[in-house]
Amino acid sequence: MPFKSFLMGGFECSTHRDARGRRLDLIASTRHDEFAEADYSRLLDVNIKTCRDGLRWHLIEPEPFRYDFTSLEKQIAAAKATGIEVVWDYFHYGYPDDIDIFSTEFVERFESFCAEATRFIRSELPGQLFICPVNEISFFSWIAGQVGNFFPATRYRGSVLKRQLVKAAIAGIKAVRSVDPTSRLMITDPAIHVVSRSKSPSARRAAEAYRKSQFEAFDMLAGLQEPELGGNSETLDILGLNYYFHNQWHHPSRRKIHRGQDIYRPLADILQEFHERYGKPMVIAETGIEDDDRPDWFRYVCEQTSLARKRLVSVHGVCLYPIVNHPGWADDRHCHNGLWDYADDTGHREIYEPLASEIEYQNTLLSDAAST
């Protein structure tokens, strides 16, 4: 078991620009940057000893190859004070404004940033270092490069952007390991299931091709596909699978498949397929839902994870993401999807008791998982 606790909490740390060019900074808008120590302490209070958190590249590198880690200092100090284990996201959608993400410079700048960030964190924190170099290669490629809803808001270049992000991830992983060879690297991407409502063989083939696209980034990183990009089996360390209530749909309509429908694929089966394909340790790196469905959804994911583990699937954690409520990306609406709500001026956050009770129950059931 590589982590301190099986159940984890993730702090929403997206820093992308939307299609209109508006910069988001969820660490700031949730006030996690102000109250990191209190936030980490709350996790420990509910027996969650591992979390995901993020760096804000656009703040850290205000000019090319000049680094200022002031924006990270409170999170680092909080990790020191509480002893919580952090999986650090280096690229969670956002990057400095002066870089063309399709350029060679993007890969070079990201490689340098990864080395400097690792050097800084390593100098401040003892113990095992966990890093997620690039979050959701496939999703970001689709939303920013294919349909244009995130900056740079390009269309029909998703495959190009995916290969670019794979190159950046490989370069970043090499940079991290050059500084700290013992670092553990987690690559995250959505786990999905896609089917066609049509009986047409061509429509079914198209749906299956879309479903299999979830493996492309992992395959490239592992050198199983397009090995000229530089991937190999050692590049893949820990697979982080992000799984939400909307991760199964009909193709091409994208009409959601609901849990309980005959064609809904159990999460345990999805996890088993990833295990058989890669043979790597895995984590449910993100999962969650909004409002009153939160406890039931978390129970389902934990139950399916336990079922997969009984089949000897190598799953080592479930991360509730996000752990605190946040403003919606598109409209700033109050998303009630976390365990805790917005912070007041003292740093206090109201807890959502039904989800807290479910977490306590699942922690009891999964207490043996952290040691196996």
**Using CA atoms, how far apart are residues 56 and 11, in angstroms rounded to an integer?**
13
Cα 109 versus chain centre, distance: 21
* pLDDT of 86 strictly over 60: yes
* pLDDT given at position 327: 96
* pLDDT given at position 2: 86
Q: Which of 298, 302, 299 is nearest to 310 (CA)?
A: 302
Give pLDDT tens digits for 347-365.
999 999 999 999 999 999 9
* pLDDT given at position 187: 96
**Residues in Cβ contact with 284 at an 8 Å cutoff, skipping those fewer than 6 apart:** 240, 241, 242, 243, 301, 305, 315, 317, 318, 319
**Using CA atoms, how far apart are residues 31 and 67, in angstroms rounded to an integer?**
23
Return the CATH fold of 7-371. TIM Barrel (3.20.20)
* pLDDT given at position 226: 97
Hey, is 303 helix, strand or coil?
Answer: helix
Question: Locate tokens 């020191």: which residue?
Answer: 80
Give pLDDT tens digits for 175-234.
999 999 999 999 999 999 999 999 999 999 999 999 999 999 999 999 999 999 999 999
Give, for 189, the enclosing helix (H) or strand (E): strand 184-190
User: β-strand 130-134 against 85-91: which pairing, if any?
Assistant: parallel
Q: Domain locations in the chain?
A: 7-371
Question: Locate tokens 């496939």: which residue?
Answer: 138
**Using CA atoms, how far apart are residues 201 and 218, in angstroms rounded to an integer?**
27
